[in-house]
Structure 1
Amino acid sequence: MTSRFRRIRHIRATLDSGPWSYAETHAQAIDSAWRTATTANPALFDGEVLVITHREIDGEVFEARYRPVRYSQFLHYMRHGEPDGASRNGFAVAGLTGSDGALVMGIMGGHTANAGRIYFPGGTPDPDDVVDGRVDLEGSVMRELTEETGLTAEEVRVEPGFWLHEDEKRSAFIKVLHSPLPAVDLRDTILARVARQAEPELAGLHIVRSHDDLRPDLMPPFQLAYAEWWLAGGREV
């Protein structure tokens, strides 16, 4: 396989404690940026998320150590920080795929930090994703799927493992999920459930069938790369 994606069959992720060096050295800038962000969007919440501070890849095994940090610290690093060679957002997303082969992505709601952006359901892990000292990305992606779309694991066929895409700050794990519904019916099912949510994270859904459906202006690099790769038949390479 010659692409920026690689198959990961096992993730071994543990939780470390202690301060994050980036947060300590950028404390004032983080506080200032957070005040600006919450003035623009008061719905933002400075809870804890988990950031990778060390990772190794051996074949199809991904090993990582995560550390809990404040969301304000994480957001500043992702938006303004220089890559330090170790810290990265290691997250999983649900690669929703209709029975017709089309991809179904979420459009983030206006109250979220990524309003209007288009990508698969998922997100940065948080302390709820820690099980017996282990960061459970398998559980994280299914939890996010249900929270964002109302779908459950019983309604999709889950492919084993993940497809991994990395850049200097991100390790994006795509878990491929197959729905028995064609993409339009899947979209309508999700929208009906989202409409019943008190505070939905999604403002809508976006279907990708061809390159004409790609939105480089709204899709983060990993999402755009995956869609292009999928359309090119990358998983059969």
Structure 2
Amino acid sequence: MASPRIHRVTALELKVERWTWPFSVARRTEIDAHFAASRRQKPKLWNGRVLLCREPAFDGGRFCANYFEVDFASLLAWRDWGFPDREAFNGFGMGALRCADGAFVLGEMGGHTANAGRIYFPAGTPDLDDINGDRLDLAGNVAREIEEETGLPRSAYRAVPHWDCVVTGATIAMIRTLQLDLPGETVRAQIEANLSRQEHPELSAVHLVRGRGDLNDNMPRFVTAFLEQQF
């Protein structure tokens, strides 16, 4: 795989359009069988409607892309089969929570999720709830995912004005640094207390990253590429 490319932008122009993904149609039977097998291993998987993108473009300080609706089963099969169709991209937002002492806060995904054991910033595949008119509200998506996963409301942090878009193959992670006024251990304790009150929390653990020595192989390359430029 080619080395990640990082583009810093100040504007996202993410249009939602009606478009049928040929991959999802042509391999429907295989996709359904794959999802059924995945659910036998992880019964809590849900085949909801999500948004993928195509025709991504960086233009100066802007990132533009067209998003389309598809079922989660198609996204999962496409990912698990090594992204065989390169017309689509998985373009999602992430909130890089940074504490007052410089520590970044990452979560480890629970065993019942599609990304069990992976460690990254709060994030989630955009879905239909993130559409505002004909646009994808990625900032709103990130805020919602952070509150769902960690319990932290928007009032707990301040967003920087830019996004770092990390491109790795068919994945585009749009990462925004969110500054908190509390130290890392305090934030971790707050999140762990919130997780303890949830019946089925998405996260199984909370990790603090203070330098390159805290990076590990359970972190996707788009996460480590972003963090490497911070230290």
Same fold (TM over 0.5): yes
1:39-50 residue pairs with structure 2 within 5 A?
39-50=40-51
Q: CA deviation at 1:81?
A: 4.3
Q: Which residues in structure 2 correspond to 1:96-135 (within 5 Å)?
A: 96-135=97-136
Partner residue, 1:13: 14
- After superposition, where does 1:138-149 map in structure 2 within 5 Å? 138-149=139-150
Please tell me whether residue 215 in structure 1 is matched to residue 191 in structure 2: no
Q: Which amino acid aligns with 1:168?
A: G
Q: 13-22 vs 76-85, which deviates more?
A: 76-85
Instruction: Quote the residue 1:235 is aligned against.
Output: none
Measured in 2, the distance between the counterparts of 1:7 and 1:85 equals: 23
How far apart, in 2, do the equivalents of 1:18 and 1:6 lie?
Answer: 27
TM superposition shift of 1:203: 0.8
Q: Is contact 2:184–2:208 with CA below 8 Å preserved after alignment?
A: yes
Q: In structure 2, what is the Cα distance between the partners aligned to 1:36 and 1:230?
A: 40
Which amino acid in the other structure matches residue 205 of structure 1? V
Two-structure CA RMSD over aligned residues (Å): 1.3
Conserved? CA contact 2:95–2:146, under 8 Å: yes
Q: How does 1:141-160 map to 2 (within 5 A)?
A: 141-160=142-161
Q: Is 1:105–1:120's contact at 8 Å kept on the other side of the alignment?
A: yes
TM normalised by structure 2 equals: 0.94
The more displaced of 21-30 and 61-70 is 21-30
Specify the SS of the correspondent of 1:63.
Answer: strand
Q: How many angstroms apart in 1 are the aligned matches of 2:129 and 2:199?
A: 21
Secondary structure, counterpart of 1:43 in structure 2 = coil
Greater alpha carbon shift after TM alignment, 150-159 vs 77-86: 77-86
1:56-112, Cα deviation, whole Å (9 max, x unpaired): 210111111101100000111112144544301110011011111111100111111
Q: How many residues align?
A: 228
Secondary structure at 1:113 match in 2 = coil
The CA distance in 2 between the partners of 1:226 and 1:30, in whole Å, is 32
Gapped regions of structure 2 (runs ≥ 5): none
More divergent stretch after superposition (37-46 vs 201-210): 201-210
Question: 2:228 maps to what in 1?
Answer: 228
1:59-70 mapped onto 2 (5 Å cutoff) = 59-70=60-71
Deviation string, structure 1 residues 25-58 (Cα, Å, up to 9, x no partner): 2212211211110000000000001000222210
**Quick one: which amino acid aligns to residue 222 of structure 2?**
F
- Kindly indicate whether the alpha-carbon contact (under 8 Å) linking 2:109 and 2:203 is maintained by their aligned counterparts in 1: yes
Residue pair 2:45, 2:113 contacting (<8 A) in 1 also = yes
Q: Which runs of 5+ in 1 are unaligned?
A: 232-237
TM-score (norm 1): 0.92
Q: Give identity over the alignment, percent.
A: 38
Residue 8 of structure 2 contacts residue 162 of structure 2 at CA under 8 Å; is this kept in 1? yes
Q: Which amino acid aligns with 1:131?
A: N
Verify the 8 A CA contact 1:50 1:67 in the aligned structure 2.
yes
1:123 is paired with a residue whose SS is coil
SS at match of 2:164: strand
**Aligned structure 1 segments of 4 or more residues deviating by more than 6 angstroms:** none
Aligned to 1:234: none
